[in-house]
């Protein structure tokens, strides 16, 4: 849909730049576009879309917040590991970075 709008806008600009009437035709096109945008049907549709976007934003925000809290609670549970376990995990990660499994 976005591609179509860009294409139509490009055709419009090309038409205006290529026509001899130039400014007069451009003013007519601007007036028609303004009339279209200010029509009650288009404004109602824009309002519906804005409301849907707001709801989707709120749902996404809530989902991200829930995930952050879950990950936070998991990491606090694993923070009780001993220092030896942490050292071993770090050492393993360093060795893996030096010698990746697919390097041989």
Distance CA(8)–CA(5), nearest Å, equals 5
Say yes or no: 2 and 33 in one domain.
yes
Say yes or no: 3 and 19 in one domain.
yes
Distance CA(88)–CA(58), nearest Å, equals 42
Place of tokens 């707001």: 54
Asked if 12 and 29 touch (Cβ cutoff 8 Å), the reply is yes
**Would 62 be classed as within a structural domain?**
yes
Say yes or no: 27 and 45 in one domain.
no
Say yes or no: 32 and 52 in one domain.
no
pLDDT of residue 54: 93
pTM of the model: 0.43
**Would 13 be classed as within a structural domain?**
yes
Q: Residue 102's pLDDT band (boundaries 50, 70, 90)?
A: low
The count of structural domains within the chain is 2
Q: Measured between alpha carbons, how far apart are the two ends of the chain, in Å?
A: 49
Q: pLDDT tens for residues 54-89? A: 999 999 999 898 888 887 777 665 555 566 566 666
Q: pLDDT tens for residues 7-55? A: 888 888 777 777 666 778 778 888 999 999 999 999 999 999 999 999 9
pLDDT of residue 56: 94
Query: How high does pLDDT run on average in the chain?
Result: 78
30: containing domain = 1-38
Q: 38-58 burial by CB neighbour count: b if 16+ within 10 A, else e?
A: eeeeeeeeeeeeeeeeeeeee
Say yes or no: 15 and 30 in one domain.
yes
**Would 103 be classed as within a structural domain?**
no
């Amino acid at each position: 849909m976005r591609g179509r709008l860009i294409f139509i806008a490009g055709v419009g600009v090309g038409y205006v730049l290529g026509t001899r009437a130039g400014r007069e035709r451009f003013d007519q096109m601007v007036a028609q576009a303004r009339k279209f945008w200010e029509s009650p049907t288009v404004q109602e549709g824009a309002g519906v879309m804005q409301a849907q976007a707001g709801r989707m934003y709120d749902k996404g925000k809530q989902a991200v917040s829930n995930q952050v809290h879950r990950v936070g609670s998991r990491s606090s549970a694993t923070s009780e590991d001993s220092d030896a376990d942490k050292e071993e995990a770090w050492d393993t990660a360093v060795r893996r970075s030096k010698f990746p499994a697919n390097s041989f």
